[in-house]
Structure 1
Amino acid sequence: MATLRISLGQYSDKGRKPSNQDFYGAYLPDGAQQRHKGIAIALADGISSSTVSREASEAAVGGFLGDYYATPSSWSVKNAAQRVLQATNAWLYAQTRQSQYRYDMDRGYVCTLSAMVIKSATAHLFHVGDSRIYQLAGNSLEPLTEDHRFWASREVSHLSRAMGASQHLELDYRAVSLSEGDVFLLATDGVYEWLSPQVMALKIQDNAADLDAAAQALVHAALANGSDDNLTVQLVRIETLPDRDADELYDALGGLPSPPELRPNSELDGLRIIRSLHASARSHVYLAHDPESGQHVVVKTLSTELAEDPASVERFVREEWIARRIDNPHVLSAPEQRKPRRYLYSVWAYIDGQTLTQWMRDHPEPDLVEVRGIIEQVAKGLRAFHRLEMLHQDVRPDNIMIDRHATVRLIDFGAVRVAGIAEADEAGGEDILGTAQYTAPEYFLGEGGTPRSDLYSLAVIAYQMLTGTLPYGTAVAKTRTRAAQRKLAYQSALSENRELPAWVDEVLKKALHPNPQYRYPALSEFIFELRSPSPGTLKQSRPPLLERDPVRFWQWLCALLGVIIVVLLVNMPQ
């Protein structure tokens, strides 16, 4: 099975300067770390007017290479790298503000940065300043970055953007699809300003067998042409790419056979099966006893029909991988299994309780306080997913458990979208995996979900708990165009049969808007408004005067009619 493999060449020289203010580095992990986070390469160029720019360059590259790999593996490359670089930029800016250069940023902790993260079959580029990233294209080099430089005249220019130059970092990002044999060049201006793209391409091709020698040749050629700056080059060649249909995350379990038929008292790798808990077309769930821990656990197996489907196996194995990365009291956990597994199954914590579906049957008319308590707990679980750049995508009553202590937990992660995994999936979009009546409208347009999509699903549940019905009935799944979705008619949650404050209906209506842009931007805002409505929400929910005070309404109406009659009489011709 092919894996990601690159060749790397690097070289740096102070040139005619007294010291080298450039800094460069790369980190080439292997195994799981490479699959989850990729390979990182970075180069920084200190500005000549600063005596501390070498420290800035080293901090920028070192911080990026070190901190990027400390971010959650569920995060996308873009999010992880941008957060790390934003933090590094803030540190550099603070160092300048605390130094004697606080009023002269050109002498502070400032540098350019060009970085690349290669993950799966994509190169993610991050850039600020005037160092450059090129891609070899035939006999020339194609620039993949733009210089952030302001030209005051033909001879005088200044960096318009750089690491540490401002409290807020404006970073360029670009994703490039890879093919085997692709060659990339990272270079500082001490090199590319003194060599044409054609000459640099020729030097690389002449030394294709040794990229370190190619990097040296580029630096020496620039020096020979009169370069008066520090010179740094990094060369990257893609040797092999991962197999498209191989998801290495699941090698440990994905190749295992399905377990034999499980019955009460049968054993599975030391776990004793007690009884069946649930069976569906997708999976079978059993209550089991773990003799090592002395606890009851839940064993989940994939249905026989889906065990031969690679996509279904992938989603099944991913569930436990996801659970291991979330530590939240409102998300079902997966206890670590120390014994090797001989079959394809997953092990989960046992919840002694009932699904929200059953709870709703037992409580057909819950009061607002009960509903709020459950919805708030589910929201806390969803926020744990969102913080790791995951979307649950199948929030429904059957996937919510309530234990005997009234603690609410999200279960079933088969539809979860993990940004860090999805970006490595070259196949493109996914099918709608959630349950139609709880799925946000944007999914039916073929659009990707956002945290507002999970918010919509949660709001549907809140509406259903309070009314016993769905806000749009079954119409959402039938609307496959924006025009059709604009015609969706929200059915008010207010009813003569159940007391509910009018402002709650306004909160639900906003959370359930067909267009995600008009919903609450965050779960926290939705939850807050369910308890403490904003003045705007209260104003929208204020009933008309006829409903609030019929007597006063008719008094005002009679007075108005009287004024109209007087005006007409006065203006009548004599």
Structure 2
Amino acid sequence: MASEVVALVNPNTEAALPFATTLQLVVGQATEKGRKSQNEDAIGIRIPSGLALITKGVVSVISDGVSTAEGGAHASAISVSNFLADYYSTPESWGVQTSSSKVLTALNRWLYGLGQDYRDARRGFVCTFSALVFKSCSVHMLHVGDSRIYRFRHGELLQLTHDHSTNINSSNQYLTRALGMDVNLDVDYKTLSVEVDDVYLMTTDGVHDVLTEFEIHQKLTVLCQQHSTLSDDLCEQFCLMLNKKAFDLGSKDNLSSQLLSVSQLPKQAIDDVYQSLSSQPFPPPLSVGMKLDGYQVTHTLHQSQRSQVYRVVNDQGEAFCMKTPSVNYIDDAAYIERFMLESWIGQRINSTHVVKVVELQKIKSALYYVTEFLSGISLGEWLTQHKKAPVEEVLLLLKQIELGIRAFHRRETLHQDLKPDNIFITREGVVKIIDFGSCYIKGVAEISSPLTRDRILGTADYTAPEVILGYQADGRADLFSLAVIAFEMLAGQLPFKGKLEKCRTRQDYQRLDYISVHQLNPMVPEWMDNALKKALNIDPNLRQADTCELIHQLTTAKANQTVKDFVPLIARNPVRFWQVISIALFLCLVASLLNN
């Protein structure tokens, strides 16, 4: 069966990206009150289509309202319905963990707040919560409470969740974690690979407290042996049967179960992907006077091996920038995908300090994208004109750069190529980040692809060590790049005497010596130097938490003037640390021998 490819943007104005929508599941669910007077369980499954299936996936949720909480039934209903709605409302660029944690945190605080209306804390809005999010070729598990998730694969049953409960005696237990129980929420999160024919079973305690794991395994084995392929009806019948069996065995609780079977995963052949990517032709090299889709070229602003940027005007005389891919990469599928993603992420970041990608209102005849035209100079040009600029002026520019970076990070996107040439200062003094070519988008990275995606590194002088060394980077990598830019703006030269460019191993970075920016420019106060030194640490764990914290430290004197962050000897000088340890052990050995 051929893979279906869906556009991640408006299909009338942008080219389709090669992500298949052939993730298919068969599902069934059932819930009933059992021997209780009301059903406090809640269940829900949402299988979207098109774009949402690619970027968000399929979601299954099960929740059990705590009986001792008067609002338990309302809590479970709220948690299921709101999660299924709010999760799909989060940005497409966010990964599953970020999207789900944001929604669950808000849900938990809402339920906790509702529960505070009662004088008796035990009568609040409290419920268990377990969810599976199937995205591309992975499943993401979220769990808090004592509902359960099982996986049945190749005839083996595995419980994926751990019960957050403690036994009081043989017949009573209480939850140690649940939604609405506390203002802070600790959710178990796990990502697992998915295989075709995997079967996932989700149950509340009314079912699994009565049925043993052996019995559940036996019933799933019979189901899969009798039916080579499952259907929605078979899954629903199985859930009804499982609930009835638990009822017949004396369950006194509500009964809920969900069964999901993976029938197809979004696998694609590389030829199919390339065919989709090449649906729009590369435009030829353009020269002044030439037109493309009504845009006339007036200037060539930039040319490199990878792309071209032109100043163009439309029929109304409005000026824009047009970026086109280089014909050198016409057969490179990974390059084409990345070029398409530039405009995709650019349309999803809305900030005064990030260049705006223009959404076209007509079908494009070739592969390119258009941005607002900026009049001014790059930060690189500004640096050549302002050697050791006044600290106040530098801080004004840094604050704007940080706001632009923050806009990327709020979309769970790393820029990964922050440098003076990618930062623009308009004639009005507004700073804008102007390039998306090296961005890492968490939500897109979770989507499987047969392409070997190239890992484009930024300019070595400005790139964080963890990126160069091939480690998984986070927002602190962009923080490092911002600190390099700040150092250069204040000192008139790059940090570490410009030796970052030559570093290729961890040992290379450990040999770097930080030279105080205050030493190079006495007008820079020492407390600013302390903030920059921390941000330029080769270990990301020893930097500030984010770019906002760095700007705060650069602009706020406070205790930075006298108090320095404590860094253990093993981090400051590992060789000296082990020398001290060796000497101490040797002295202990000598003392022991003398005593004997």
Q: Is the 8 A contact 2:277 2:337 kept in 1?
A: no
Q: Provide the C-alpha distance between the structure 2 equivalents of 1:380 and 1:172, rounded to a whole number of angstroms.
A: 32
Q: Is the 8 A contact 2:54 2:447 kept in 1?
A: no
Q: Is the 8 A contact 2:419 2:459 kept in 1?
A: yes
What is the SS of the residue equivalent to 1:305? helix
Partner of 1:191: 207
Partner of 1:117: 133
Partner of 2:49: 30
Q: Is the 8 A contact 1:121 1:177 kept in 2?
A: yes
Q: Provide the C-alpha distance between the structure 2 equivalents of 1:507 and 1:71, rounded to a whole number of angstroms.
A: 34
2:460 is equivalent to residue 436 of structure 1: yes
The CA RMSD measured in Å over matched residues stands at 2.4
Partner of 1:345: 368
2:153 is equivalent to residue 129 of structure 1: no
Partner of 1:89: 108
Q: Is the 8 A contact 2:457 2:467 kept in 1?
A: no
Q: Is the 8 A contact 2:165 2:177 kept in 1?
A: yes
What is the SS of the residue equivalent to 1:500? coil
2:417 to 394, 400, 413: 394
2:62 to 43, 47, 66: 43
Q: Is the 8 A contact 1:254 1:317 kept in 2?
A: no
Partner of 1:62: 81
Q: Provide the C-alpha distance between the structure 2 equivalents of 1:111 and 1:122, rounded to a whole number of angstroms.
A: 27
Q: Relative to structure 2, which stretch is displaced further, 236-245 or 367-376?
A: 236-245
Partner of 1:260: 284
Partner of 2:337: 314
**Distance change >3 Å, CA 322–CA 239, structure 1 → 2:** same
Shift of 1:245: 6.6
Partner of 1:420: 443
Q: Provide the C-alpha distance between the structure 2 equivalents of 1:441 and 1:435, rounded to a whole number of angstroms.
A: 12
2:304 is equivalent to residue 285 of structure 1: no
Shift of 1:261: 2.8
Q: Relative to structure 2, which stretch is displaced further, 68-77 or 194-203?
A: 194-203
Q: Is the 8 A contact 1:141 1:200 kept in 2?
A: no
Letter in structure 1 aligned against 2:384: R
2:31 is equivalent to residue 12 of structure 1: yes
Letter in structure 2 aligned against 1:361: T
**Distance change >3 Å, CA 174–CA 428, structure 1 → 2:** farther
**Distance change >3 Å, CA 246–CA 188, structure 1 → 2:** farther
2:204 is equivalent to residue 163 of structure 1: no
Q: Provide the C-alpha distance between the structure 2 equivalents of 1:327 and 1:91, rounded to a whole number of angstroms.
A: 28
**Distance change >3 Å, CA 272–CA 352, structure 1 → 2:** same
Q: Is the 8 A contact 2:343 2:369 kept in 1?
A: yes
Shift of 1:140: 4.1
1:373 to 396, 402, 406: 396
Q: Normalising by structure 2, what TM-score? A: 0.85
Letter in structure 2 aligned against 1:186: M
What is the SS of the residue equivalent to 1:134? strand
**Distance change >3 Å, CA 536–CA 363, structure 1 → 2:** closer
**Distance change >3 Å, CA 436–CA 247, structure 1 → 2:** farther
Q: Relative to structure 2, which stretch is displaced further, 257-266 or 325-334?
A: 257-266
2:426 is equivalent to residue 403 of structure 1: yes
Q: Is the 8 A contact 1:440 1:453 kept in 2?
A: yes
1:446 to 460, 470, 481: 470
Q: Deviations over 1:286-336 (max 9, x none)?
A: 1111225x4211110111112321111111111111111111100000111
Shift of 1:228: 2.0
Give runs of aligned pairs for residues 425-504 of structure 1, distance below 5 A. Answer: 425=448, 431-495=455-519, 499-504=523-528
Q: Is the 8 A contact 1:77 1:124 kept in 2?
A: yes
Q: Relative to structure 2, which stretch is displaced further, 126-135 or 13-22?
A: 13-22
What is the SS of the residue equivalent to 1:89? helix
**Distance change >3 Å, CA 380–CA 246, structure 1 → 2:** farther
Partner of 1:273: 297
Q: Relative to structure 2, which stretch is displaced further, 189-198 or 23-32?
A: 189-198
Larger Rg: 1
1:103 to 120, 140, 147: 120
Q: Is the 8 A contact 2:58 2:135 kept in 1?
A: yes
Q: Is the 8 A contact 1:254 1:344 kept in 2?
A: no
What is the SS of the residue equivalent to 2:207? helix
Q: Is the 8 A contact 1:39 1:117 kept in 2?
A: yes
Shift of 1:236: 0.9
Q: Provide the C-alpha distance between the structure 2 equivalents of 1:497 and 1:85, rounded to a whole number of angstroms.
A: 48
What is the SS of the residue equivalent to 1:376? helix
Q: Relative to structure 2, which stretch is displaced further, 432-441 or 242-251?
A: 242-251
% same residue = 39
Which ranges of structure 2 fall in alignment gaps of 5 or more residues? 4-19, 566-596
1:354 to 372, 377, 386: 377
1:172 to 168, 185, 188: 188
Shift of 1:429: 8.5
Number of aligned pairs? 537
1:324 to 340, 344, 347: 347
Which ranges of structure 1 fall in alignment gaps of 5 or more residues? 542-574
Q: Relative to structure 2, which stretch is displaced further, 189-198 or 400-409?
A: 189-198
Q: Provide the C-alpha distance between the structure 1 equivalents of 2:348 and 2:277, rounded to a whole number of angstroms.
A: 17
What is the SS of the residue equivalent to 1:190? helix
Q: Is the 8 A contact 2:464 2:481 kept in 1?
A: yes
Letter in structure 1 aligned against 2:120: Y
What is the SS of the residue equivalent to 2:84? helix
Shift of 1:486: 2.6
Letter in structure 1 aligned against 2:320: V
